[in-house]
Amino acid sequence: MEFKGELDVRDVMIDELAQGKELIKQLQSLLMDASVSMEKRQFLMNQIISIYNKALNLIRFNGEPIVPDPSFSSLFGGVPQNSPFSVAGNSHMSCRSSDVDEEQLRPSKKRKTLPRRVEMVKMNNGEELPGDGYSWRKYGQKFILGAKFRRGYYRCTHRHSQGCAALKQVQRSDEDPTVSQVIYVGDHTCNTTIQITGPSTSTHEPRVHLTLTQHPPQQQPQIPTKPQLTVQTEELNNGDQDKFYFRCFSFSTAVIDSDNADVDVAGWLLDESPVTSGSDQFQASPGKMNTPESDIRQVFTLEELDILDPNFGFDNPDLFI
DNA sequence: GAAATTTGACCGGG
DNA sequence: CCCGGTCAAATTTC
């Protein structure tokens, strides 16, 4: 049997350690913030430990394959047992599947597969998967050897209408049934828009529109992308009544598109607590969200949002109730 | 009635 | 031949 050369192993190690460094930076800022939950910190710490374990193993075994823990089925790509998987409390903490793909550690004769992204998702009420911004159609489920729960197979709803080839697989964790591992396979090539119109009164037209748009990729994507959020505003002059409701997605990038300003907002939005209120003032049109309205929560007023501030950051934890 | 889900059959890679 | 992934008919939900 043949394994990757020393150079490849070195590259993988550099990747791993660089990622570890990034996570430590994240952890550092989380530790400064008292409002961040213990689980979230634990999650990051476990990720860091996992990465350093892998790097150590690479050094110890000079790139030879590390036997994955059998309690992680093939779905988990050989993530060590001390991975974040056992840690509850975080939705949509994601990592590139290549992080855990043993193909990185040895050459494969298998044909190249579609890009994959792996996410650990904490389910709402321990039962239902929070929405990810896409519309999916289930096409199968199967018991996988060694797993307690069936794996669900989903494809993009727009597979036939737009030829979108995106797939996802969902499997509940054996250890923590309130957590599911979601694997996104391939990228969306569909162009879908979900529009949410803000609250209106009898005397005013709606003033805020949230539009979730998935654009087809411009180039060959390396990993599946996430949708963009556009916040469009009109007549921002009504003080307290300008509250609106924000969907709990995780985004890699959101775009605020105001009358005269286009503001790019980088950062991740994380679902951290159960949704509580506000769904009665919410309208969705013309499409529908693929999660229940209870998944919508009031987050901030327009004033708080400070929509014209180009430095506005969605990753400010104070925004989230 | 259309759309979504369930479920057993089928297929192909290893 | 086994197993993971997909298909498609049947069934359920909206």
User: With helix as H, strand as E and coil as C, how does chain A read?
Assistant: CCCCCHHHHHHHHHHHHHHHHHHHHHHHHHHHCCCCCHHHHHHHHHHHHHHHHHHHHHHHHCCCCCCCCCCCCHHHCCCCCCCHHHCCCCCCEEEEHHHHCHHHCCCCCCCCCCCEEEEEEECECCCECCCCCCCEEEEEEEECCCCCCEEEEEEECCHHHHCCCCEEEEEECCCCCCEEEEEEECCCCCCEEEEEECCCCCCCCCCEEEEEEECCCCCCCCCCCCCEEEEEECCCCCHHHHEEEEECCCCCEEEEECCCCEEEEECCCCCCCCCCCCHHHCEECCCCCCCCHHHEEEEEEHHHHCCCCCCCCCCCHHHCC
Give the model's pLDDT for residue A259: 33
Over residues A102-142, the pLDDT tens digits come to 334 343 333 345 778 888 888 877 677 877 778 899 999 99
Asked if residues A96 and A203 have their Cβ atoms less than 8 Å apart, the reply is no
Calpha distance A240→A297 (Å, rounded)? 17
Q: Residue A194 falls within a domain, yes or no?
A: no
Q: Residue A155 falls within a domain, yes or no?
A: yes
Give the model's pLDDT for residue A154: 95
- Segment A258-270 shows an average pLDDT of 29
Instruction: Indicate whether A150 pLDDT > 90.
Output: yes
Calpha distance A172→A174 (Å, rounded)? 6
Q: Which of A14, A44, A61 is the last residue of a domain?
A: A61
Instruction: Indicate whether A66 pLDDT > 90.
Output: no
Q: Residue A108 falls within a domain, yes or no?
A: no
Q: Residue A75 falls within a domain, yes or no?
A: no
By C1' distance from the Cα of A138, the closest nucleotide is B5
The better pLDDT of the pair A30, A181 is held by A181
Q: Which of A164, A185, A206 is the last residue of a domain?
A: A185
**Strand C interface, protein residues by Cβ within 7 Å:** A 73-75, 139-140, 142, 144-146, 151, 153, 155, 167, 169
Measured from the Cβ of residue A262, the count of other Cβ atoms closer than 10 Å reads 10
Q: Residue A136 falls within a domain, yes or no?
A: yes
Calpha distance A141→A171 (Å, rounded)? 10
Calpha distance A271→A20 (Å, rounded)? 23
Residue A121's CATH number: 2.20.25.80
Asked if residues A251 and A269 have their Cβ atoms less than 8 Å apart, the reply is yes
Radius of gyration of chain A (CA): 21
Q: How far is CA A221 from CA A51, A113, A114, A185, A188, in A?
A: 24, 13, 10, 12, 10
Q: Residue A152 falls within a domain, yes or no?
A: yes
Q: Which residues contact A113 (CB under 8 A, 6 or more apart)?
A: A185
List of A residues 146-185 with CB within 7 A of strand B: 152, 157
Predicted TM-score (pTM) of this structure:
0.49
Asked if residues A226 and A252 have their Cβ atoms less than 8 Å apart, the reply is yes
Q: Which of A45, A61, A77 is the last residue of a domain?
A: A61
Instruction: Indicate whether A245 pLDDT > 50.
Output: no
Chain B bases under 7 Å from protein CB? 4-9, 13-14
Instruction: Indicate whether A60 pLDDT > 50.
Output: yes
Q: Which structural domain, as residue segments, surrounds residue A154?
A: 116-185
- Segment A170-181 shows an average pLDDT of 88
Beta strands A116-122 and A93-96, pairing class: antiparallel
Give the model's pLDDT for residue A206: 41
Over residues A79-98, the pLDDT tens digits come to 333 333 333 333 444 444 44
Q: Residue A43 falls within a domain, yes or no?
A: yes
Q: Residue A247 falls within a domain, yes or no?
A: no
CA angle A308-A309-A312, nearest 5°?
A: 125
How many domains, chain A? Answer: 2
By C1' distance from the Cα of A108, the closest nucleotide is B14
Whether any strand B atom is under 7 angstroms from the Cβ of A139: the reply reads yes
Query: Mean pLDDT for chain A?
Result: 55
